[in-house]
Structure formats: C-alpha cells, structure tokens
Amino acid sequence: MHIPSIPCFTSAFLLVFFSLNLHASVPGKARAVDKPSPQVKRISPVNTASTAAPGQAGYVHYFVITHPDGTLEDHVGIEMEDQRIAWSFPGSGVTVADFIKNGTVESGGNTYKVEHLHAVRPLRSDREMQTLRGDLSRRVAIWVDDETPYCVFRRPDERFCLSCGDFVVRILFPSTNPLSAGLPRDFIRPVGRTPTTDDLLLYMLGMHSLPDAKSRINRLAMLDVPDTLRRDLRDLLQGQLADDLASKPAASARPNSRIATRKTQNRRL
C-alpha cells in the first residue's frame, strides 16, 4: 500500500533527532581471509508480524490512518508488553491505546479510520531487544506523563511536540538529550542525508546499507515477510530503482519520505 501520505517523521523530528552526530565513522579493516561478501553478510533472518502478540514487545507497527477529510497517513507505533500500542496520535499526542487491526479511533473530537499493515522487530540482536524491553515502559511513560502533543511539523515558537515517527525513534534510540534521538551510525552513514521512515524500515530489515535499489529488490525476494509489507517494499524499491536509472537529479526531486506523511507528501523521520 505504498501511497502518497503525510510523513510521520517530521522536520521537528529531523531538527531534534538529527541534531546528533551525523559524522560517519571509519570502518576498521577486516581480515581479507574470512571477510564475507557484503551481500551475504546482510542476508540474515528478519522478524515480522501481522498483528500484536505476546513476546513482541518493542516491535514497530505500521498503520494507515484515514483522516476525517479523507487524507491518508502512514503511521507507526511501538508494541508494549501487554500488546497495546504506544504512539503519537493526531488529536491525542503520545498515548498508549489498544491494538487495532481495522477500526476507528475517536481522538480530539474527530473519528479516524485505522488499518494495521504489519510489524517489524526493530533491533537485530537479542541483547539489544532485551534492553529495549526492559526499559520500554519507562521510556514511553516519560512522553505520556509529559502529555506530549502530536504534530506533523513544529514551528520554532511552538511547544515541543512529536509526530509518530519522532516518538518511535526516541523510544528505540534514546539519548542523553531529550530533544534528540541517538540514531546508530550504521543507520545514518549509508543514508547520507536526512533519514525518513522509509529508511527506518529498510534499516530494520537489514537492507539500509545495500548499494542500490536493485540489490534491495533482490534481497526482498529472499525475505519471508507479510504480503502487505512485501507489496509496500516492492512499490518503494521500484520508485528508488526508477530514481537510480534516472540519475541523481531525479532522485533529489523525490519527496523525502513516505512514512513521514500520507497527506500527498512523504514524511521524514
């Protein structure tokens, strides 16, 4: 369901989330004897899901929200231990709500249609996931207790607010500065620009550092993922492939992100 939408990672997120160190680190030398090819190295199992379930605390869930005016928005949230979803939702801000497969949410005096697409385990190692799960409630409570409002783009004179993507990355990658997120360098370096929610999805699936769209399409063929995710990725990667073939000028003309918005414009992280 790769359709134009309002980004859920916004400029507010970009200014805060990416005010961190964007310096690429220099990779150390690997031994030539047993150095695996880059593609083989990245072909590792990924964990996805089509619903909330026990044992999935920390999974990032993707939804499509239909606004009262018919606008579509790609939305992300994070699964809690009790299968509820923590997210920053229009009209409510950062809240924890019951998981919805397909239904409606009343928020801020409006009714939003919500359709669940898929979920992805965000971190590769069991140790990282254990750390996330052990601290998940506290990380979420910080923003819930502060009654952090939702926004798409925050002006400098406005109260601090978070889009859905802004919120999720702060839960996954907290930093000592509450106004920023501590994105991993191996996520930032391959992107080479302001990351988007599409970039986050590719990162979680281990596709972020593959050299081009063609190699990512080949990687997709090897993944066992839900149909909705496969279709979404196929559309995303076909668009990237068209940009690759049309050269960089065309790529720079593309919107900066999909998950960042579903309001006819794509969203950045």
Between 70-74, 92-96, 180-184, 244-248, the lowest mean confidence (pLDDT) is in: 244-248
Summarised one tens digit per residue, pLDDT across range 38-85 is 443 434 568 999 999 999 999 999 999 999 999 999 899 999 999 999
Summarised one tens digit per residue, pLDDT across range 179-189 is 778 888 777 66
Summarised one tens digit per residue, pLDDT across range 103-116 is 999 999 999 999 99
pTM summary value: 0.75
The mean per-residue pLDDT over the stretch 85-90 comes to 97
Summarised one tens digit per residue, pLDDT across range 129-156 is 999 999 999 999 999 999 999 988 777 7
Q: Which two tokens stand for residue 49?
A: 């899901």
The predicted pLDDT at position 63 comes to 94
> Would you give the DSSP letter of residue 221?
T
Is 259 buried (19+), middle (13-18) or exposed (0-12) by CB count in 10 A? buried
The predicted pLDDT at position 257 comes to 39
At 25, the pLDDT band (50, 70, 90 cuts) reads very low
**Which residues are paired to 87 by β-bridges?**
95
Q: Are 61 and 77 in contact (CB under 8 A)?
A: yes
Helix (H, G, I), strand (E, B) or coil at 195: coil
* Dihedral of alpha carbons 144, 269, 20, 150, sign: negative
| Rounded-to-integer distance, Cα 114 and Cα 67, Å | 9
Helix (H) or strand (E) holding 61: strand 60-66
Amino acid at 243: D
Q: 187 vs 50, 123, 149, 173, 248, CA distance in Å?
A: 25, 12, 27, 11, 21
Q: Does the pLDDT value for residue 122 go beyond 90?
A: yes
